[in-house]
A and B are shown apart, each in its own frame.
Chain A
Amino acid sequence: MAQDGIGASVKRREDARFLKGIGKYTDDMVYPRQTYCYFLRSTIAHGKLNQVDTAAASKMPGVVAILTAADFAGVGGVPCGWLITGTGGPMKEPKHPILADGKVRHVGDPVAAVIAESLAEAKDAAEAINLDITELPAVIDMKKALKGGGTPVHDEAPDNLCFDWVFPDTKADVEAAIASAHHVTKLDLVNNRLIANPMEPRAAIGVYDPSMDEHTLVTTSQNPHVIRLLMGAFVLGIPEHKLRVYAPDVGGGFGSKIYHYAAEALVTWAAKKIGRPVKWTAERSESFISDAHGRDHVTHAEMAFDKDGKIVALKCETLANMGAYLSTFAPCVPTWLHGTLLAGQYTNPKIYCNVKAVFTNTVPVDAYRGAGRPEATYILERIISKAAREMKIDQVELRRRNFIQPNQFPYQTPVALVYDTGNYGASMDAAIKLADYTGFEARRAAAKAKGKLRGIGVCSYIEACGIAPSSLVGALGARAGLYEAATIRVNPTGSVTVLTGSHSHGQGHETTFAQVVADKLGISADAIEIVHGDTAKVPFGMGTYGSRSIAVGGAAIVNALNKVIDKGRKIAAHLLEASESDIVYEGGAYKVKGTDKQKTFGEIALTAYVPHKYPLETLEPGLEETAFYDPKNFTFPAGTYIAEVEIDPETGKTEIVQFTAADDFGNIINPMIVEGQVHGGLVQGIGQALYENAVYDENGQLVSGSFMDYTMPRADDVPSFKVTTTSTPCTHNPLGVKGCGEAGAIGSPPAIINAICDAIGADHIEMPATPEKVWRAIHKV
């Protein structure tokens, strides 16, 4: 293993700029003559927008322009990127205007944009805008929303139903299996609404260059090329060659920065209209009511077992909140990213899933770290632990009885996916050893002696990552392909510039991808630069989400590297006067087999650009190759997490006394970075289980709308972790990698809730398991 190659815990090259405070985030950028944009947002959840009177505001000091829906009459709405077809036909897809047009549909819906010389002047002018809104009853609760009766969120969906999706079409078969089963466990649960809250609030700067008729959007995005495509083609009608989208350092995303937001289109459009750069940065309380939220499912599930504890069927019926408009990928989250994961790690032959997606007067809901897979895992791993308790079978043993065995791969689940590889017993073994599962009862007794209730909870999760084969997702409704692109540009003196369509916003791609290139080329990582996040530099890309960067983006890099190495071999064969088939590339040099003749990578690079002695008749000069990699399948990271909690029965407060994670991510490029991804995911999952909740009141006000109300996990809320890995390399990508970004957030909520239920002897407790809820469950009040 090279010192800076695959498998080494190389320290991150990104760190220097971040630690010195010289990173470059969107809000750090200053453009000459820039103006400041402030959005006037609705404080009413649902209402008829009669008039937006900007007359007085327009005369306020410093105001450059005030934009309302009328300015965007000829402009498209914010598009949705995934079409779901349900039992009643294609989903309802109401227009999502740039600025509220005729109605306001959630608290935070933007009504006007004030552009001024300073932010303070823009804010002052916004206060002078006179809104005439006739308030309508807010549609908040999903069950009530589906009953209709009031004013629907959208006229197109009179009962607020976006779609009613069934997958697979097995209802009668599954219900028959449940009716005749030895044991049936039933569970009603809520997957609580969350807010991603990356620490950098969203921001966008629009710049227009009239000399070249070129637009630039600087934005906090996880996928700048996707924004260019969506905004250019579907909203503003700007062709790609006249639109640059640049996402510089981005301070975390977790899904919330995947989507195309109206603010991006507005600043881009306005920059041309006013002839000056337009800058907008969200304030945190604005992020709470304008960033897409996550989760928000209400589910009834039934799992049936035979007399040996083997699962025979699972039925899930879910209401999924879409919010007031369809965010970019919202419809695929509760459907194809959820229903297809309901087999879990188990040999369950019969599965039925029904999802009703509902419009409400709340912020749009879309993918948040895990996206659909945490919801599926929470159902499965809660219900199997409840079943274990009911059937008086150890929760580890019940899982083991149902695990897909290593000799069963590739394994076709009844919910479309084919798992390529895995060894679920191995990660279970690793977890129970590291957690000292067998010693738990002694620890429980010791806790009891000091008046504490101690519990242990297990979760064996699986996820589908590396999204995804384009032909497959196209058939499932995706309006995009999901490959990744990479260019390897070998410079004349042998240094290498890598252009990747993946985007790093904390994941450390600049380090990890350089390790892959250094390893494959046998050159120093110091000679390799990773470029990402700029459509003006990178040919194309689908961006970073769904733990796809190494599995799809990394694979594209490897394929481009192989093309470079192959071309270099032709050049080397010419220089060394040998047959191509006799030349091997190793240790950074082309060598003639069985001789000491060789040419280094640097010599070949120079020859490619100074082609004096070169096969020009058959080979072009230069050394630069591009690859588009379209994955053959999803990847399937899986593992087992074990949470151990102690609860004070006097206060209901839960302390996580130990948390163990054993993950199978396949091959690992940088173990240090992978562990960091797991730690971060775990705390987001623990946040969901114990602390975080986006709460709306019946009028549609977001009650937990700031960091003073929405409980973000802090350093003293969580423990240090025990993490380990097992490995069954992915069989269908060139690195054998699976992806590690979301596992922690997927596997930890059920482990924590299972541990709490075990500690207090409860059938279920809803997330977040606050001290009040736990105390009430203990004392049954």
Chain B
Amino acid sequence: MPKVSLEVNGKQVSADVAPNTLLVDLLRSTLALTGTHVGCDTSQCGACVVHVNGRSVKSCTTLASQVDGAKVTTIEGLAKDGELHPMQAAFREAHGLQCGFCTPGMVMAAVDLLKNNPKPTEAEIRAGLSGNICRCTGYHNIVKAVQIASGQATA
């Protein structure tokens, strides 16, 4: 089996993977990073979104062998020194999560959204998160969380 070496959440890791191993399986099974979730099998729901070299990607549609040499950040790597990332804190502040299952992917997608558009309008937030499905919140408070994280609203 081919070997991949990559940086995950700041740590260098390497693993032998089958050619058809998905990034999400490398993360969840081999590395025990179970914060990244699988909510569908058609690359539609976004529960598996992680950052690869700073860009959000669906790890269910990325082969592990494609990330050889890359820097991957998962939800477990977002908080620094025990402090929640501002986006994580904003989700809590705005009650932007309920069951928590879509949350890791939603937060990772939202971080990437603000990186590219620091002061998005409501319509831009909604469009920017349309690759992620949440069944609990009705999106109202997720939108609010992104507005808080972008300094455009308070709880």
Contact = CB atoms under 8 A, between A and B. Distances in A.
Nearest to A198: B135
Contact of B99 (A17, A197, A250): A250
Contacts of A283: 41
A681 interface: yes
B79 to A, nearest CB: 6
B102 A199 contact: yes
A696 interface: no
Contact of B136 (A17, A19, A22, A506): A506
A681 B84 CA distance: 29
A684 B79 CA distance: 32
Contacts of B107: 19
Interface string B11-44: 0000000000000000010001111111111101
Contacts of A708: 42, 44
The contact size tier of chain A is: 35 or more
Given A28-B34, A716-B127, A679 B137 contact: yes
A536 B113 CA distance: 44
A706 B41 contact: yes
B137 A25 contact: no
Nearest to A284: B40
B42 A15 contact: no
A585 B72 CA distance: 55
Given A18-B103, A715-B139, A720-B122, A680 B98 contact: yes
Interface in A246-283: 249-252, 254, 283
A715 B130 contact: yes
A646 B22 CA distance: 43
Nearest to A505: B99
A31 interface: no
B150 interface: no
A668 interface: no
A307 interface: no
Contacts of B122: 720
Contacts of B75: 19-21
Given A676-B95, A718-B139, A18 B42 contact: no
B52 to A, nearest CB: 16
B39 A21 contact: no
B78 to A, nearest CB: 8
Given A20-B76, A284-B41, A684-B135, A200 B99 contact: yes
Contacts of B139: 679, 683, 714-715, 718
Interface in B36-58: 36-42, 44-45, 47
Contact of B92 (A12, A252, A675, A718): A12
Contacts of B129: 714-716
A21 B133 contact: no
Nearest to B39: A199
Contacts of A28: 28, 34
B65 interface: no
B74 interface: yes
Contact of A720 (B88, B93, B134, B143): B143
Given A12-B95, A19-B92, A19-B103, A718 B135 contact: no
B91 A715 contact: no
A477 interface: no
Contacts of B39: 199-201, 284
Interface of B (DSSP majority class): loop
A362 to B, nearest CB: 21
Contact of B141 (A24, A199, A676): A676
Given A20-B79, A201-B39, A707 B133 contact: yes
B138 A18 contact: no
B126 interface: yes
A285 interface: yes
B42 A284 contact: yes
A673 B95 contact: yes
A41 B33 CA distance: 31
Interface string A541-559: 0000000000000000000
B125 interface: yes
A250 B100 CA distance: 9
B61 to A, nearest CB: 13
Nearest to B108: A21
Interface in B116-147: 122-123, 125-127, 129-130, 132-144
A712 B132 CA distance: 10
B136 A680 contact: yes
Nearest to B25: A119
Contact of A21 (B35, B45, B132, B138): B35
Contacts of A18: 97, 99-100, 103-104
A679 B88 contact: no
Contacts of A15: 91-92, 97, 100
Contacts of A505: 99
A708 B41 CA distance: 10
Contacts of B125: 715
Contacts of A472: none
Given A19-B97, A252-B101, A680 B88 contact: no
A507 B76 contact: no
Interface in A714-749: 714-716, 718, 720-721, 744
Given A199-B135, A505-B99, A679-B140, 17 more contacts: A12-B95, A19-B91, A19-B92, A20-B76, A20-B84, A27-B34, A251-B37, A252-B99, A252-B136, A284-B40, A284-B45, A506-B98, A507-B98, A676-B95, A676-B137, A712-B133, A714-B133
Interface of A: 11-12, 14-25, 27-28, 30, 197-201, 249-252, 254, 283-285, 505-508, 672-673, 675-676, 679-684, 706-708, 712, 714-716, 718, 720-721, 744
13 contacts: A12-B92, A18-B100, A19-B92, A20-B78, A21-B75, A28-B34, A199-B133, A676-B137, A676-B138, A676-B141, A714-B139, A716-B126, A718-B138
